[in-house]
């Protein structure tokens, strides 16, 4: 059983694709978003917003990835390093509206901030996890042992299969090495990781390309190898975010894009992702056309904050980042 506490149009006139982060030492929230109200067809940058009141109000902090003229920065992976510096990976396109083509994927940048998003150090020449030009960073960046960072990268479907890899950085995100394929190496797309706070164990939720469902994979060796365990959504229900709750449960939040069922949904696991409770609905979005990409964190009082993007609602016809504050009653 869940209870909706509040729902907001938190940041208006942005396509967002938010990655939500909670300060490791407080309940301050940060959202890394794409700041243009377009699905990658126009110029736009990545901005960082902050909320000091649990998601009620948001203020702009800074711009992790300012776009070059004629280009955009729309793809996001974000997290904290071992010294609580914020790390953001990004890339995007140089779209051609006349040819109705977004063009080739631009190079990966790494942005870091030591003052909680106000100022940013930008490195443009970043070596990704794999030797292909069109790899895209996605989801959250996590800290592992020995000051290592782990993130995921995917190659969208083109002439080759859509694939997803995890990569390790030992230099705060400048270079990503030791890549390993997820989802048996094929049919992988956008992937979210969650370290389980057990030695070397990591959970992954990966969107597939062919029917767009989400698979759960697990690594027992800090991402050096992966085993796909099960599907946790049906087709056209993607992508997913993973959150470890204060009681040890794992929360999966995702978008249901099936016609007549459009919504933001969740599932919960009480055994570290080995099995999952029945799906539940957080919010219905009956008028939605372009939406989803939920990102969820939990506050110290166990309130859940889920950010998502939405092109239109029943009473609001602009792209925006929405926020839901909600709670869940455990069985």
Tens of pLDDT, residue by residue over 149-207, are 999 999 876 656 788 999 999 999 999 987 888 876 678 899 999 999 877 899 999 99
Which DSSP category does 105 fall into?
B
- Please give the pLDDT value at position 267: 98
Low-confidence ranges of the chain (pLDDT < 50): none
For residue 137, what are its two tokens? 């960073």
170 class by beta-carbon count within 10 Å (0-12 exposed, 13-18 middle, 19+ buried): middle
The per-residue pLDDT for 98 is 64
Biggest CA–CA distance in the chain, Å, is 55
Task: Round to whole Å and give the CA distance between 30 and 33.
Answer: 10
For residue range 68-89, what is the model confidence (pLDDT) as tens digits? 999 999 999 999 999 999 999 9
Cα 45 to Cα 282: distance, rounded to the nearest angstrom: 29
Under 8 Å CB-to-CB from 156, ≥6 apart: which residues? 105, 134, 136, 162, 189
Hey, where are the domains in the chain?
A: 2-328
Record the pTM: 0.96
The residues, ordered by sequence, that sit 6+ positions from 224 with a Cβ below 8 Å of its Cβ are 178, 180
Specify whether domain 2-328 bears CATH 2.120.10.10: yes
Position 258 scores a pLDDT of 96
pLDDT tens track for 2-18: 999 999 999 999 999 99
Write down the pLDDT at residue 92.
Answer: 94
Rounded Cα distance between 107 and 136, Å, is 9
The whole-angstrom separation of Cα 238 and Cα 265 is 10
Residue that the structure tokens 């919010």 belong to: 283
Q: Which of 175, 296, 300 is nearest to 239 (CA)?
A: 296
Distance CA 121, CA 76 (A): 16
- Which is it for strands 250-256 and 263-269: parallel, antiparallel or unpaired? antiparallel
The single-letter DSSP state of residue 66 is: P
β-pair partners for 192: 205
């Amino acid at each position: 059983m869940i209870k909706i506490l509040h729902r907001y149009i938190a940041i208006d006139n942005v396509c967002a694709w938010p990655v939500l982060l909670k300060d490791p030492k407080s309940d301050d929230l940060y959202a890394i978003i794409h700041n243009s109200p377009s699905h990658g067809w126009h110029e736009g940058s990545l901005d960082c917003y902050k909320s000091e009141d649990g998601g009620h109000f948001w203020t702009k902090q800074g711009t992790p990835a300012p776009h070059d003229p004629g280009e955009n920065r729309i793809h996001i992976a974000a997290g904290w390093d071992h010294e609580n510096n914020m790390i953001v990976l990004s890339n995007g396109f140089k779209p051609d509206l006349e040819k109705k083509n977004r063009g080739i994927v631009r190079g990966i940048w790494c942005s870091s901030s030591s003052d909680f998003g106000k100022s940013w150090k930008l490195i443009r020449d970043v070596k990704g996890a794999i030797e292909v030009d069109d790899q895209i960073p996605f989801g959250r960046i996590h800290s592992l042992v020995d000051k290592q960072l782990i993130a995921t990268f995917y190659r969208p479907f083109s002439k080759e299969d859509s694939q997803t890899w995890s990569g390790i950085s030992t230099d705060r995100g400048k270079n990503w090495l030791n890549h390993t394929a997820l989802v048996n190496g094929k049919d992988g797309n956008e992937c979210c990781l969650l370290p389980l706070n057990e030695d070397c164990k990591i959970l992954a939720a990966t969107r597939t390309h062919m029917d767009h469902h989400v698979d759960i994979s697990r690594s027992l060796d800090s991402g050096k190898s992966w085993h796909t365990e099960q599907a946790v959504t049906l087709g056209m229900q993607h992508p997913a975010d993973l959150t470890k709750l204060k009681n040890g449960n794992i929360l999966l939040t995702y978008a249901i894009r099936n016609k007549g069922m459009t919504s933001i949904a969740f599932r919960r696991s009480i055994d570290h992702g080995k099995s999952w409770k029945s799906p539940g609905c957080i919010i219905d979005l009956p008028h939605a056309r372009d939406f989803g990409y939920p990102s969820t964190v939990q506050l110290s009082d166990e309130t859940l904050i889920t950010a998502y993007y939405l092109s239109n609602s029943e009473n609001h016809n602009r792209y925006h980042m929405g926020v839901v504050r909600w709670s869940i009653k455990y069985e």
